[in-house]
Amino acid sequence: MQRTQQRGKRSGQIDGSVSASRRGIDVQGAMATLNRGSESPRQFFRCGRYSTVGHEWYVSVREGCELGPYATRDEAELALANHVTSRFVDSHGYIGQIDAHARRDATVLEVLVQELATCREQIHIRGENAAFAWAKRRLDAMNEHPEKFNRVRARIHALMFFLRELDS
């Protein structure tokens, strides 16, 4: 039994696996890519933004408060996207940075923020009534040809949220 365990170990192996440095992996570089630009390179831990208490959903935001309660997780995701859009995109004009993420598969939150930011940009360009008509046409196009849009379900939810927001 001991002989087979020793035979499996070579120099540079720990518990049967080759160490990261021997495989040529830059562990610090890989961990640094997991951090956002505003974080120091040593912060690795992340926890979920969404939590439930009973049957109600809440969203934790960086400002240290919680948004909610919401009936479903989809509503909580829309609320977070609306918060991010109104808080950062409207005040700092980050829509160009959101569009730059299109080279990879965007997260649901990024798609929601991008769609809401585009809708709000239409208000600034065209006015509320024309932006409402634009969003309605975009929603109709997504319902007719969903294959032309990535993450179409999230985009439809964002457009419906925007239309309800303008309607009220």
Would you give the distance in Å from CA 30 to the centre of its chain? 20
Instruction: Answer whether 0.85 is exceeded by the pTM.
Output: no
Strands in the chain per DSSP E: 13-14, 17-18, 50-53, 56-60, 66-70
DSSP 8-state class, residue 63 = T
Report residue 69: phi and psi, to 5°.
-85, 155
Mean pLDDT of 69-85: 92
Residue 8 has pLDDT above 50, yes or no: no
**pLDDT > 60? residue 122:** yes
In this predicted structure, what is the pLDDT of residue 140?
96
Same domain membership, residue 109 and residue 33: no
Q: Is there a single domain that holds both residue 86 and residue 160?
A: yes
Q: Are residues 80 and 157 in the same domain?
A: yes
* pLDDT range class, residue 97, cuts 50, 70, 90: low
Position 168: which residue type? S
Sheet (strand 56-60) strand order:
50-53, 56-60, 66-70
Does residue 33 lie within any of the structural domains? yes
Q: Are residues 82 and 41 in the same domain?
A: no
Find the domain containing 105 and state its range.
Answer: 73-167
